Each structure stands twice: as structure tokens, then as C-alpha cells.
């Protein structure tokens, strides 16, 4: 249906206001407007309200199908992905996940093992329509020396298809070994990566955060935290990160993931934290599928009563940048998933109520993570931009979000890509033993 070369026009497509900043059209109450997209030489030559551009007799009429820009997935763990068959989570808890993953990493994460699982993950993400992805890389010794070179190779291999970023991942207690952490920060800087840690309420948290910020400033790195992935109301490291950022006058981008405990804390405490997060210009990413899986799992015969996600509505109302992302896929932190950002958006809509009204929530899987990741031109559709978009069957939100849309068409630089998902059997030999 999409021509393989030259220029063409897709007429009568449905575009969303939140992802087409330059389109001056009459949008309906769901945020959609009918439009015509003209593609030439891999770029969007023109984006106009339907019927407004000079008629083109061979235009392809898409009859009101939704077209979205390609997705941006800003929080994943493709170094962990797909180990589930050889290392399941014994009880579905966070501690179960941490211990199982640590054991598997120590025993099995050779460069070849990591590379093959990463490539599998990237092929899935690409087929589903993702064009940029940030992964965390477990960087506790000696894994950092194995995984960072693999990442650098993978980033080259995927250049032009998926814009790949990486952030190091270690518990904040690892920062206490100052000399080692300084070496790690230098290694991350050489790879043009992002400096990341997992914060816990350790007694010396503020001092350790200062060291993290000092290294980020020294090497000009952006920051990416895992914070408060727990129901413990005493977990307030999101606030501590905001305070440390203000205290250190940090000017780079900061993305904070999870922040689950915030949803359990008393209102006054929450308001104070959100004020500081807004003031420090932190961005927050929620990981709804992983949170739903791990949080409020008590293994005592009771039913979960909490959704696990953080306070995205309250954050967005204060101007805090908010995103949702995939997080883990088929590993002890989440038994399922396939790096399909439409699935993430569909689940987020249900878990986090991204509806009635939808407003500008679609930005959370495209434009906002692109800003956080400093990706110019990604996450929106505009004349002059790359013709990277996804054509769905759905013509409205209920059609789009009720079926998996497995037959979506992914267009990259003007051409429909081959959307073959990798076969699980490819990984079988990595799962034995
Ligand atoms: Zn994560």
C-alpha cells in the first residue's frame, strides 16, 4: 500500500494535535484532525489539513486511519531481556527479581550472550515502530567491561534504524568506591552515555548523590535514576534527587524512573516533593507494566490492591515532563513484554487513566521522551522532518487501543519496513544449562 520509492501522498489520515505541533487544523474533542501527508525523498514534504493541498490524483486514501510518529522508548533493560526461560523469578517479587538477575549475570552474561539478546530485543522494538531507545546497562564489576563495548558495537550496527542510548546501572552504594565510580563515569563519557544509579534510602544518600552529580558535571553527562521502586512510604529519594540537583546547580537533563512510593505518601509530603521536582526540572518516566507486575505482590494469598504507578497526572499538571516506557522484557523483573510501545501506551491508558480526556498524553511515548533524550525531530510529525511514522487500522482511540494492531505499517524514511518479529527459538541455545 505504501509506495517503495519516490514521492507520494497519504490522504485522509488522522493525526493527533499533541504530536503535530505545526498543523493548523480543526481538531476534534479527541484531539484528532484529518490531514494529508506528502512524502518526498524520505522526508515529510508537506503536512496539511485534509483537502487543503493541491489535489494529487494518485493520492492514497487511508480513510481516516490514525498515523502516529515512530515511538521513543526511554527506559529499557535490553541487557537483561529474554533470560526468563533460564532464570525465572521464583516468587514474582522485587527481591526475587534482583537476586535471580544477579545470579544469571554473574554466571552467563558473556559479550556474545548479551549481544544476541540485545539484538533480538532491538529487532522486536524496530518491528513494532520504535525509532529511539535508551537502555540501562548493569554496570557492577566486572559486567561494565563486558556490556559497554557490546553496547557501542550494537549502537553502530543499528544506526539509522534505532537511535540507541545507554545509561549505567548500579546501586548507589557502589558510588562509595570513589575511585571505581570515577573510572565508570569516565567510561560512560567515552561511550557518550548517561550516568545512572539506583537510589535507596541509605544513611549517606545525600553525600553519595553529591558524588554522582559531581561526576556528571565533570564529564558533561545527563543523569538517569531508578528511584523508590517500592511501596515503602519512607522511600523519598525522588525528593533527595531534586534537592541534590538544585544544591549542585545541575544544568543537564535528569530522568527519574518509577517513583512508586510517592503514590503511597501523605498529600502534604507529596506536594512538597512535586514542588521540588518541578523546580529542579526533573523528568519522570513511569513503567506501568513492570510496576503492575512487581508492586503490591505479597505472596500471602492476598490480591493486589494498588496499581504500582506514580502520580503522573499531578506531575503533568505542574509542568513536569512525564513519559511511560517499556522497562523489562521477559526477565525476572517482568515475565512478559516485547518492547511494543503501543502495548505500553494501551496499558498506561488503562492503568494510569490516559483518557477522558486523552489530552496530550500521546506525547508520553514520543515527543516527551525525545526531548529528554535530546533527539531533535523525533517524536513529532512535521514538514521537513524524516518520514518516520506508523499507520494503524484504528480510526479513533477505542479502535486503536482495543486490538494489538499487529498489522500496523511502520514507515521509515518514507518506506514501509519489513516487520518480521524474531523467533523465540533463536534464543533456545542460550537458555540451556
Ligand atoms: Zn528499569
The residue among 232, 279, 280 whose CA lies nearest residue 258 is: 232
Give the model's pLDDT for residue 56.
85
State the distance from the centre of ligand 1 to the C-alpha of 359, rounded, in angstroms. 27
**Which residues have beta carbons under 5 A from ligand 1 (an ion)?**
327
State the distance from the centre of ligand 1 to the C-alpha of 236, rounded, in angstroms. 18
State the distance from the centre of ligand 1 to the C-alpha of 75, rounded, in angstroms. 6
Contact in structure between 30 and 40 (CB atoms under 8 Å): no
State mean pLDDT over 157-164. 98
On whether the pTM is more than 0.75, the answer is yes
State mean pLDDT over 85-99. 96
- DSSP bridge pairs for 15: 33
Confidence category of residue 288, pLDDT binned at 50, 70, 90: very high
State mean pLDDT over 302-330. 97
Percent of the chain with pLDDT over 90: 96
Write down the mean pLDDT value for the chain: 97
Confidence category of residue 53, pLDDT binned at 50, 70, 90: confident
State the distance from the centre of ligand 1 to the C-alpha of 354, rounded, in angstroms. 21
Dist CA 190 CA 145 (whole Å): 13
Dist CA 162 CA 126 (whole Å): 7
Decide if 229 is catalytic.
yes
Dist CA 38 CA 172 (whole Å): 49
Name the region of 319 (left: φ>0; alpha: ψ -120 to 50; beta: rest). left
What crossing angle do the helices spanning 143-158 and 178-190 adopt, rounded to 10°? 10
Dist CA 393 CA 374 (whole Å): 31
Confidence category of residue 276, pLDDT binned at 50, 70, 90: very high
State the distance from the centre of ligand 1 to the C-alpha of 286, rounded, in angstroms. 10
Give the model's pLDDT for residue 18.
98
Range with lowest mean pLDDT among 49-53, 140-144, 426-430? 49-53
State the distance from the centre of ligand 1 to the C-alpha of 46, rounded, in angstroms. 38
Give the model's pLDDT for residue 101.
98
State the distance from the centre of ligand 1 to the C-alpha of 200, rounded, in angstroms. 14
Name the one residue in this structure whose C-alpha cell is 567515552. Answer: 190
Give the model's pLDDT for residue 355.
98
Confidence category of residue 233, pLDDT binned at 50, 70, 90: very high
The residue among 384, 410, 392, 370 whose CA lies nearest residue 22 is: 384
State the distance from the centre of ligand 1 to the C-alpha of 284, rounded, in angstroms. 12
State the distance from the centre of ligand 1 to the C-alpha of 154, rounded, in angstroms. 20
Dist CA 138 CA 113 (whole Å): 14
- Per-residue pLDDT of 379-403, as tens digits, reads 999 999 999 999 999 999 999 999 9
Candidate list 229, 343, 371, 405, residue with the active-site label: 229
Give the model's pLDDT for residue 91.
95
- Per-residue pLDDT of 6-36, as tens digits, reads 799 999 999 999 999 999 999 999 999 999 9
- Per-residue pLDDT of 201-225, as tens digits, reads 999 999 999 999 999 999 999 999 9
State the distance from the centre of ligand 1 to the C-alpha of 338, rounded, in angstroms. 15
Cα–Cα distances in angstroms (integers) from residue 267 to residues 18, 45, 107, 236, 288, in the given order: 30, 49, 44, 13, 22
Contact in structure between 175 and 186 (CB atoms under 8 Å): no
The residue among 303, 364, 353, 302 whose CA lies nearest residue 75 is: 364
Give the model's pLDDT for residue 57.
84
C-alpha cell at 354: 490516559
State mean pLDDT over 244-266. 98
Sort 249 into a burial class: Cβ within 10 Å, 0-12 / 13-18 / 19+.
exposed
Q: Determine the 3-state secondary structure of 147 from DSSP.
A: helix
Where b means 16+ CB within 10 Å and e means fewer, 370-392 reads bbbbebeebbbbeeebbbbbbbb
State the distance from the centre of ligand 1 to the C-alpha of 44, rounded, in angstroms. 34
- Per-residue pLDDT of 163-173, as tens digits, reads 999 999 999 99
Amino acid at each position: 500500500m505504501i509506495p517503495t520509492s519516490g514521492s507520494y501522498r497519504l490522504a485522509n489520515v488522522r493525526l493527533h494535535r499533541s504530536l503535530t505541533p505545526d498543523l493548523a487544523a480543526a481538531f476534534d474533542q479527541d484531539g484528532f484532525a484529518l490531514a494529508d501527508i506528502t512524502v518526498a525523498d524520505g522526508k515529510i514534504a508537506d503536512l496539511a489539513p485534509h483537502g487543503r493541498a493541491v489535489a494529487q490524483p494518485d493520492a492514497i486514501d487511508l480513510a481516516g486511519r490514525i498515523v502516529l510518529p515512530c515511538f521513543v522508548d526511554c527506559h529499557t533493560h535490553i541487557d537483561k531481556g529474554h533470560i526468563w526461560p533460564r532464570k525465572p523469578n521464583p516468587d514474582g517479587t522485587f527481591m526475587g527479581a534482583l537476586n535471580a538477575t544477579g545470579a544469571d549475570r554473574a554466571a552467563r552474561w558473556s559479550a556474545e550472550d548479551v549481544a544476541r539478546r540485545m539484538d533480538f530485543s532491538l529487532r522486536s522494538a524496530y518491528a513494532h515502530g520504535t525509532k529511539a531507545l535508551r537502555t540501562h546497562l548493569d554496570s557492577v564489576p566486572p559486567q561494565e567491561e563486558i556490556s559497554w563495548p557490546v553496547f557501542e558495537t550494537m549502537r553502530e550496527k543499528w544506526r539509522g534504524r534505532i537511535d540507541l542510548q545507554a545509561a549505567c546501572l548500579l546501586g548507589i552504594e557502589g558510588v562509595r568506591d570513589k575511585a571505581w565510580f570515577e573510572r565508570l563515569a569516565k567510561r560512560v563519557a567515552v561511550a557518550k552515555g548517561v550516568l545512572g544509579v539506583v537510589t535507596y534510602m541509605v544513611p549517606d544518600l545525600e553525600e553519595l548523590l553529591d558524588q554522582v552529580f559531581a561526576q556528571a558535571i565533570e564529564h558533561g553527562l545527563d543523569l538517569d535514576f531508578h528511584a523508590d521502586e517500592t511501596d515503602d512510604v519512607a522511600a523519598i529519594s525522588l525528593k533527595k534527587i531534586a534537592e541534590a540537583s538544585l544544591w549542585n546547580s545541575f544544568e543537564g537533563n535528569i530522568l527519574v524512573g518509577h517513583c512508586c512510593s510517592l503514590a503511597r505518601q501523605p498529600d502534604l509530603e507529596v506536594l512538597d516533593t512535586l514542588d521540588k521536582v518541578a523546580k529542579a526540572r526533573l523528568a519522570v518516566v513511569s513503567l506501568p507494566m513492570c510496576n503492575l507486575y512487581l508492586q503490591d505482590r505479597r505472596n500471602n494469598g492476598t490480591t493486589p490492591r494498588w496499581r504500582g504507578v506514580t502520580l503522573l497526572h499531578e506531575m503533568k499538571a505542574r509542568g513536569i515532563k512525564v513519559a511511560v516506557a517499556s522497562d523489562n522484557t521477559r526477565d525476572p523483573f517482568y515475565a512478559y513484554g516485547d518492547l511494543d510501545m503501543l502495548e505500553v501506551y494501551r496499558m498506561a491508558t488503562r492503568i494510569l487513566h490516559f483518557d477522558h480526556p486523552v489530552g496530550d498524553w500521546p506525547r508520553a511515548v514520543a515527543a516527551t521522551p525525545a526531548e529528554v533524550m535530546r533527539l531533535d525531530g523525533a517524536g513529532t510529525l512535521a514538514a521537513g522532518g524524516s518520514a518516520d511514522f506508523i499507520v494503524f487500522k484504528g480510526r479513533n482511540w477505542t479502535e486503536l487501543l482495543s486490538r494489538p494492531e499487529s498489522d500496523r505499517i511502520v514507515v521509515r524514511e518514507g518506506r514501509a519496513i519489513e516487520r518480521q518479529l524474531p523467533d523465540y527459538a533463536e534464543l533456545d541455545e542460550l537458555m540451556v544449562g
